[in-house]
Amino acid sequence: MKVALYARVSTDEQTVSQQLDALRGDCRRHGWTIIEEIEDVVSGMTFTRKGLDRLMELVRRKKIDLIMAHKLDRLGRSLPHLAQMIGEFEANGVALFIPGQGIDTRQANPAGRLQMHILMAVADFERALISERTKLKLRALQTAGKHVGRPKMLKSVEAAAKAICDQALATAGKPPTCRALATELNMSVGAAHALRVKFGKQRLAEAS
CA dihedral over 20, 21, 26, 29, signed as positive or negative:
positive
**DSSP bridge partners of 98:** 103
Please identify which of the residues 10, 17, 43, 188 carries the catalytic annotation.
Answer: 10
Please indicate whether residue 10 is annotated as part of the active site: yes
AA identity, residue 75: L
* CA–CA dist 150, 63 (Å, integer): 43
E-strand spans in 20-178?
A: 33-41, 66-69, 95-98, 103-104
Beta pairing class for 95-98 and 2-9: unpaired
Instruction: Provide the edge-to-edge strand list for the sheet that holds 66-69.
Output: 33-41, 2-9, 66-69, 95-98, 103-104
Catalytic positions are 10
